[in-house]
C-alpha cells in the first residue's frame, strides 16, 4: 500500500538557518530551470507550437495546487491582489532576482507588477521573435491567470506592455495589471487539473512551522519588496524548502501528463528533462553551500536535491560508505504513485543519477548493486577519468540561470497601498 505520508523528518532538518537562507532561492531557481531542460526536447518532438501547448498545460494544472499549499503553509491565504503577489514571490515560476518581479498594490482588487529583469526572456530572445511571442503572449496569458485564479476566481492579469521589446533594450521588460472584479468570467478549468489536485504531492502532509523558533514564522504581515530569506525562522525555511520541492514535482507531473498526451515516447522525454535539471541543480547546490567534490559532498547534495525531497514523499535513503555513496530508491512511495521523476529511474536508465552525481564531480559513475521487488540500490563510485557532460545537461546549461548569482539587496521595504 502506498502512503501519502512518512514519519521521517525533513531532508533539510540538519541545515542551519544561514544555510537554508542560501538554499531556498537556489531551489526556486532550480524549479524555473525545469523548463529550460524539458522544452528543448519538446521542440524537437512537437515543434514550437507543440512545446508552447505543453508549457501552458503544465503550468495551468500545477501552479494553482502549489500556490494554495504555500499560502496555507505561511499563513497568508486570502483573496486580494496582495495575496497573489506574495504567492509569486514563493513560486518556482518567479525565482527571486532571476525573474525580478516588482509590485505595486493600489487596493484589495487592483495592482500592477513589472519585471526589471527576466532571465527567461534573456534565454529566449536569441531564439527570435516567434519564440518570444510564444513565451510572453501564448504561454503567459493563460498561466498568469491560472496562478491568480488560485487566489481569486475573478482575478485577471493583463499586459500593459510586453516583449518583443520596442526598443530592443526596453525596461522594465514587461508590465501587467491585476484586477479582481466579480464581473469577470473565470476561464474553464483546464483538463487534468483534478489529477494534480488529487495527487499525493497535493495532499502531502509536512511538519508544521514552530512559531517559537527565532525569526518570521509566516508571511502574514505586509507584502515586501523582496523576500530576505534570512529573516525567516529556521523552521519556516525548512517548510518552505520542502514546499518548493513539491512545486518541482507538481510541475514535472503536469509536464509528463501533457507530453504523454502527444507521444508514446513520454517516458524518454521526461527522463531527459530530469537528467538536464538533475545535473545543473547538483552543481549549483554544491557551489552555493561551499561543498567539496568528494563522497561526503555527494551524499550531502543528493540528500538536498529537490528530486529526492520531501523525503517522506520519495522515500529515498542516502548512505555514505567506505566504498562510495549509496542511494536506496524504494519501489513503493508517494512519488512513484504520482509518476514523477523517481518513476523513470530503473536499472537500465541511470542517466539522471549520473548527471546528478557529476554535478558534484565528473568522475562519478552509478552502479546497480541491488535490484529487488522492494528497492533499487545504486552506488556511486569515482572512476579514474572524468566523464563528458551529458547532452541533456549541456542543453540546460545554455540558460543564463545556470550561472546566475544572487545578490544581497539589504532590508526589504513593505509595500503599502498607494
Structure-derived torsion over alpha carbons of residues 345, 351, 352, 355, reported in degrees to the nearest 10? 160
Find the distance separating the first CA and the last CA of the chain, reported in whole Å.
Answer: 54
> Average pLDDT in the 327-351 region?
98
> Are 287 and 246 in the same domain?
no
> Average pLDDT in the 266-278 region?
98
> Are 295 and 253 in the same domain?
no
> Are 196 and 318 in the same domain?
no
Q: Which residues pair with 382 in a beta bridge?
A: 364
Residue at 99 is within a domain? yes
> Average pLDDT in the 161-169 region?
95
> Average pLDDT in the 384-394 region?
97
- Residue 323 has what pLDDT? 85
Q: Does residue 248 register a pLDDT over 80?
A: yes
Residue at 403 is within a domain? no
> Are 205 and 281 in the same domain?
no
> Are 183 and 232 in the same domain?
yes
Residue at 9 is within a domain? no
Q: Which residues pair with 367 in a beta bridge?
A: 379
Residue at 10 is within a domain? no
Q: Which residues pair with 114 in a beta bridge?
A: 102, 175
Cα angle 228, 235, 244; round to 5: 65
Q: Which residues pair with 330 in a beta bridge?
A: 375
> Are 76 and 148 in the same domain?
yes
What is the residue whose three cell numbers read 551529458? 390
Task: Report CA Rg, the chain.
Answer: 21
Considering the chain, what is the average pLDDT of its residues? 96
Q: Does residue 22 register a pLDDT over 50?
A: yes
Q: Does residue 5 register a pLDDT over 50?
A: no
Residue at 306 is within a domain? yes
> Average pLDDT in the 138-147 region?
94
- Which pLDDT tens digit goes with each residue over 284-300? 999 999 999 999 999 99
- Residue 3 has what pLDDT? 35
In the three-class reduction of DSSP (H, G, I as helix; E, B as strand; rest coil), residue 232 is classed as: strand
E strands, 56-165, in order = 99-107, 110-118, 155-161
Q: Does residue 1 register a pLDDT over 50?
A: no
E strands, 300-390, in order = 317-320, 325-330, 364-371, 375-382
Task: Answer yes or no: pTM beyond 0.75.
Answer: yes
Residue at 414 is within a domain? no
What confidence tier does 6 reach under pLDDT thresholds 50, 70, 90? low
Residue of 79, 264, 299, 267 lying closest to 178 (CA atoms): 79
CB count within 10 Å of CB 225 equals 15
Residue range(s) defining the domain that contains residue 80: 18-257
Q: Among residues of the chain, what percentage have pLDDT more than 90?
A: 96
> Are 215 and 347 in the same domain?
no
> Average pLDDT in the 31-59 region?
97
Interaxial angle between packed helices 17-73 and 81-88, expressed in degrees from 0 to 180 and rounded to the nearest 10: 140
CB count within 10 Å of CB 312 equals 23
- Which pLDDT tens digit goes with each residue over 79-123? 999 999 999 999 999 999 999 999 999 999 999 999 999 999 999
- Lowest-confidence range among 1-15, 62-76, 260-274? 1-15
Q: Does residue 77 register a pLDDT over 70?
A: yes
Residue at 405 is within a domain? no
Interior/surface letters 227-253, b for 16+ CB within 10 angstroms, e for the rest: bbbeebbbbbbbbbbbbbbbbbbbbbb
Q: Which three cell numbers stand for residue 342?
A: 523517481
> Average pLDDT in the 25-46 region?
97
Q: Does residue 265 register a pLDDT over 70?
A: yes
Q: Which three cell numbers stand for residue 173?
A: 521588460
Q: Does residue 4 register a pLDDT over 50?
A: no
> Are 138 and 165 in the same domain?
yes
Last residue of one domain, picked from the residues 257, 278, 302: 257
Q: How many domains does the chain have?
A: 2
> Average pLDDT in the 22-29 region?
98
Q: Which residues pair with 175 in a beta bridge?
A: 114, 161
> Are 251 and 292 in the same domain?
no
Is 69 exposed, middle or buried (CB count within 10 Å of its CB: 0-12, 13-18, 19+)?
Answer: buried
Amino acid at each position: 500500500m502506498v502512503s501519502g505520508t512518512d514519519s521521517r523528518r525533513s531532508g533539510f532538518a540538519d541545515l542551519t538557518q544561514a544555510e537554508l537562507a542560501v538554499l531556498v532561492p537556489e531551489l526556486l531557481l532550480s524549479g524555473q530551470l525545469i523548463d529550460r531542460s524539458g522544452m528543448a526536447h519538446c521542440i524537437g518532438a512537437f515543434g514550437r507550437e507543440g512545446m508552447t501547448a505543453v508549457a501552458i498545460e503544465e503550468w495551468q494544472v500545477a501552479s494553482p495546487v502549489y500556490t494554495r499549499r504555500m499560502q496555507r503553509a505561511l499563513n497568508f491565504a486570502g483573496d486580494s491582489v496582495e495575496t497573489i503577489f506574495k504567492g509569486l514571490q514563493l513560486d518556482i515560476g518567479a525565482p527571486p532576482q532571476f525573474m525580478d518581479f516588482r509590485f505595486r498594490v493600489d487596493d484589495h482588487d487592483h495592482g500592477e507588477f513589472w519585471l526589471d529583469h527576466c532571465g527567461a526572456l534573456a534565454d529566449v530572445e536569441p531564439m527570435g521573435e516567434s519564440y518570444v511571442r510564444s513565451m510572453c503572449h501564448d504561454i503567459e496569458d493563460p498561466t498568469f491567470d491560472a496562478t491568480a485564479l488560485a487566489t481569486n476566481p475573478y482575478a485577471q492579469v493583463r499586459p500593459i506592455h510586453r516583449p518583443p521589446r520596442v526598443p530592443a533594450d526596453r525596461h522594465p521588460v514587461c508590465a501587467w495589471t491585476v484586477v479582481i472584479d466579480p464581473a469577470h468570467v473565470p476561464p474553464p478549468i483546464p483538463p487534468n487539473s483534478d489529477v494534480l489536485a488529487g495527487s499525493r504531492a497535493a495532499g502531502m502532509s509536512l511538519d508544521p512551522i514552530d512559531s517559537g523558533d527565532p525569526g518570521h514564522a509566516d508571511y502574514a504581515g505586509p507584502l515586501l519588496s523582496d523576500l530576505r530569506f534570512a529573516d525567516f525562522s529556521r523552521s519556516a525555511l525548512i517548510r518552505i524548502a520542502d514546499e518548493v520541492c513539491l512545486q518541482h514535482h507538481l510541475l514535472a507531473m503536469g509536464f509528463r501528463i501533457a507530453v504523454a498526451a502527444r507521444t508514446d515516447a513520454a517516458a524518454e522525454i521526461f527522463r531527459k528533462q530530469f537528467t538536464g535539471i538533475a545535473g545543473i541543480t547538483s552543481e549549483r547546490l554544491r557551489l552555493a553551500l561551499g561543498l567539496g567534490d568528494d563522497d561526503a559532498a555527494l551524499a550531502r547534495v543528493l540528500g538536498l536535491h529537490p528530486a529526492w525531497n520531501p523525503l517522506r514523499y520519495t522515500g529515498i535513503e542516502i548512505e555514505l560508505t567506505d566504498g562510495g555513496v549509496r542511494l536506496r530508491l524504494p519501489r513503493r512511495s508517494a512519488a512513484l504513485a504520482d509518476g514523477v521523476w523517481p518513476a523513470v529511474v530503473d536499472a537500465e536508465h541511470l542517466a539522471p543519477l549520473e548527471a546528478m552525481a557529476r554535478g558534484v564531480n565528473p568522475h562519478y559513475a552509478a552502479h546497480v548493486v541491488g535490484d529487488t521487488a522492494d528497492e533499487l540500490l545504486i552506488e556511486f563510485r569515482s572512476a579514474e577519468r572524468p566523464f563528458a557532460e551529458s547532452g541533456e545537461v549541456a542543453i540546460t546549461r545554455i540558460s543564463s540561470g545556470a550561472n546566475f548569482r544572487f545578490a544581497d539587496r539589504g532590508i526589504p521595504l513593505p509595500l503599502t497601498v498607494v
